[in-house]
Amino acid sequence: MTLLVDPRMYNMVYIIFRIIFGVSKSDVIYEKKKEWITGTGERSMTYAVKIGANFEESEVLRNTIIAVVQPSEPESQPSHVREMLKTHVASAHWQHIALRTNDLLSFHKYAINRGVNFITPILKDKDEDVIQVFSGEWYLPGEKPSGLFFEFVQRNPSDLLLKKLEEHNRQSWFRDTTFLGLYGEKEREYQTKKVVPFINQELFEELYLKFETKNVWEIEEEDINKAEKLMLDYTKSKIAIK
């Protein structure tokens, strides 16, 4: 998960993680710094920590990983992180959640065929043996962007899969470039006021109108199948127009 915080909270969150949540120095797995204006020195943009441990011998050790990001840009410079916090009148805001899949390429194709938008190609992290992709944001048509989107990730991809990915996508971002690339993409979206939605607003409206009169418990499997067909048909029509 990624947590956006006001700069005044940035160090405090680190201290809370270290003391309250039991994060050791070795559990701080990543930090990215940047000097925005030459001669002013570097500022921390983000750090990621591992929280929690499972000491049962029969269980696989699992951690929750949280990346903390502050608007590190000078006050005179635009910052989508600052804008997200200001828009939500919040000093802290959950931005994106990573969900793990065993077959990212198949899921990616499945989601695209049903109208899901992605803001990056599938990316490769050479340090962590991970491939990942980031979705558009969840927000209502005509409303302000929510700042919430998803990362879909596959760990330990096989050599065959990496070869297939290389053929599918020539662009490969590594650790620093992955964060900065995503950061830059969100900055571009917020400065141009063209934030990519999770699904196109036109498709959202079609689905909404189809089910607005139903309670959630009244939505049957037949309705779900009709909704999926609508999504598939919508995507096919868009491809045909292109």
Residue 138 has pLDDT above 60, yes or no: yes
Residue 61, pLDDT score: 56
CA pair distance 44, 54, nearest whole angstrom: 30
Q: Position of tokens 């410079």? A: 77
- pLDDT, average across residues 97-124: 89
User: Which of 26-56 are b and which e, b meaning 16 or more Cβ less than 10 Å from the residue's Cβ?
Assistant: ebeeeebeeeeeeeeeebbbbbbbbeeeeee
- pLDDT, average across residues 2-22: 87
- pLDDT, average across residues 17-32: 85
CA pair distance 94, 106, nearest whole angstrom: 27
Residues 6+ apart with CB under 8 A from 213: none
Q: Which CATH number fits domain 2-192: 3.80.10.10, 3.10.180.10, 3.40.720.10, 1.10.1660.10?
A: 3.10.180.10
pLDDT band at 233 (very low <50, low <70, confident <90, very high): very high
Residue 214, pLDDT score: 81
For 82-107, the pLDDT digits (tens) are 999 998 888 999 988 888 888 899 98
Selected residue with higher pLDDT from 74 and 155: 74
Taking each helix axis as running N to C, give the angle between helix 104-113 and helix 221-241, from 0 to 180 degrees, rounded to the nearest 10: 90
Report the mean per-residue pLDDT for the chain.
Answer: 85
Residue 105: count of CB within 10 angstroms of its CB = 18
